[in-house]
């Protein structure tokens, strides 16, 4: 992988890390969340950690002559597209939840009604499934990058 491609991939992953971190922080500010929602936050936090490891590995590849397979690079590009979609879905979910907030409680958490939670349950489940799949794919990609980096 040429250094420019490694840099572009590293920047893209850093942007995804930032978007997911912001989404997770916003999600944590919502009160009375159902179990599915808490599981989504946990999955996204784990995904953020894997993203950071992958980002660090790509940063290491910026040195001239660093080997990486074309397959691993292609996988990173594909995963970046999926990361962007997950980050967008996360932004949409947080915007939807906070838009109908009944205000903030004393701890600064959004008060979201039970009916809103029920309406968003499918979105939460879908996003959680995508985050879990992406976690598995990123872990596999991280192993491939690490193996090609020696």
pTM (two decimals): 0.71
State which residues form the domain around 142.
Answer: 3-149
Looking at the DSSP bridge assignments, the partners of residue 110 are: 30, 104
Residue where the block lists tokens 């784990």: 46
Residue whose token pair is 């980096």: 149
Total domains present in the chain: 1
Q: Over the stretch 13-42, which tens digit does the pLDDT of each residue have?
A: 777 777 777 777 777 777 777 788 888 888
pLDDT of res. 65: 59
- 39: Cβ–Cβ under 8 A, 6 or more apart, which residues? 128
Beta carbons within 10 angstroms of residue 113's beta carbon: 12
DSSP labels, 19-83: HHHHHHHHHHTEES--HHHHHHHHHHHHHHHHHHHHHHHHHHTTSTT----HHHHHHHHHHHHHH
Residue 83: CATH number of its domain = 1.20.1410
Rounded CA-CA distance 19/90 in Å is 9
Write out pLDDT tens, residues 54-88: 777 766 666 555 555 555 666 777 777 787 788 78
């Amino acid at each position: 992988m040429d250094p420019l491609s490694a840099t572009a991939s590293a920047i893209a992953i850093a942007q995804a890390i930032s978007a997911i971190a912001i989404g997770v922080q916003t999600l944590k500010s919502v009160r009375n969340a159902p179990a599915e929602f808490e599981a989504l936050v946990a999955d996204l936090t784990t995904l953020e950690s894997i993203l950071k490891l992958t980002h660090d590995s790509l940063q290491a590849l910026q040195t001239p002559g660093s080997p990486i397979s074309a397959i691993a690079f292609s996988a990173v590009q594909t995963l970046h597209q999926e990361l962007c979609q997950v980050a967008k879905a996360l932004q949409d979910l947080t915007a939807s939840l906070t838009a109908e907030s009944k205000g903030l409680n004393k701890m600064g958490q959004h008060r979201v009604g039970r009916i809103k939670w029920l309406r968003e349950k499918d979105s939460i489940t879908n996003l959680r499934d995508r985050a879990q799949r992406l976690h598995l794919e990123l872990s596999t990609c991280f192993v491939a990058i690490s193996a090609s980096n020696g």
